[in-house]
Amino acid sequence: MTAVTSGGNTVTAGPGTPVRRSRAPLGWSAAFALAWLLPLATHLLHADALLLVVVVAGLAGLQRGTAGWFDRVVVSLAQLFPALCVAGLLFSVWPWHLHPVAVGGFALSVLVLLSLLTGRRPARPGRWRARDWVLAVGFGGVTALALEPFVLRDLGGRLGLLIPGEDMSRHFLLFDMIGQVGGYAFLNPEESLRYAPADLAEESGTTRRAPTSASPCWITSSARHRPRRPTALSR
């Protein structure tokens, strides 16, 4: 008499009954292969943005203990943000940097591995409830208010919103450099010199070299100490 566990069920087989081998390893191998084939397909179709939706939806499907759609999405986003910050250290030093196929394949592989280790399978949350409509309207309204100053302006108008606030400009430049150099600026010091002024490079941990002609110092620390011209209100 042989007891075989397959798919969470225990099957008892007699002495003369052939025991079928589990196909779980084949299924997991196919899942890991699909985790890389899907980013490759979206990249060939110029639809890399769909990977963001797939990753969030995949993690939301693995959530447990949350009932509603928005509950799972919010928890998933809260988990993805710090995970992405840590993964950015790897993306900054490996050869592919922020290539969509590499990043998407890595993210989906982590989801498959998480499903394998926890034994969870993607599952849909409960039905759409009335309070989900309240959350959806609130989320949409706040998003519209945040995007309105940028959506209704051209490139010059958008830059005009950022340049007057020096601190905001610095944060935008550091954020934009991640896409330009393929990772964190402080892990790519030579490439960052093309975009960051000397004082900003020091703050981001990139370098302490003097500014060169290749580094556009449109934001400098001297601007903070430059005397301001008197205005009508100060006279």
Are 35 and 47 in contact by the 8 Å Cβ rule? The answer is no
Distance of alpha carbon 148 from alpha carbon 121, whole angstroms: 39
Q: What is the CA radius of gyration of the chain?
A: 25
Of residues 223, 214, 184, the one with CA closest to residue 196: 214
The total of other beta-carbon atoms located within 10 Å of residue 61's CB is 17
Task: Say how far residue 31 (Cα) sits from the centre of its chain.
Answer: 21
The pLDDT of residue 220 is 38
Are 150 and 161 in contact by the 8 Å Cβ rule? The answer is yes
The pLDDT of residue 203 is 54
- What are the φ/ψ torsions at residue 193 (nearest 5 degrees)? -65, -20
- What are the φ/ψ torsions at residue 214 (nearest 5 degrees)? -85, -10
Q: What tens-digit pLDDT sequence spans the chain (235 residues)?
A: 445 444 444 444 455 544 444 457 888 999 999 999 999 999 999 999 999 999 999 999 998 877 778 888 888 999 999 999 999 999 999 999 999 999 999 999 999 999 999 988 888 877 777 888 888 898 889 999 988 888 888 888 887 887 777 677 777 788 888 888 899 888 888 888 887 765 555 555 544 444 444 434 333 333 344 444 444 444 4
The 8 Å CB, 24+ separation contacts for 38-43 are: 38/104, 38/108, 39/100, 39/101, 39/102, 39/103, 39/104, 39/105, 39/108, 40/101, 40/105, 42/100, 42/104, 43/100, 43/101, 43/104
DSSP 148: H
Rounded to two decimals, what is the model's pTM?
0.68
- What are the φ/ψ torsions at residue 6 (nearest 5 degrees)? -145, 125
The pLDDT of residue 33 is 95
Distance of alpha carbon 155 from alpha carbon 163, whole angstroms: 12
Are 203 and 193 in contact by the 8 Å Cβ rule? The answer is no
The pLDDT of residue 55 is 95
Which 3 state secondary structure label does DSSP give 11?
strand
The pLDDT of residue 56 is 94
pLDDT in tens, 161-214: 877 776 777 777 888 888 888 998 888 888 888 877 655 555 555 444 444 444
The pLDDT of residue 212 is 42
The pLDDT of residue 199 is 58
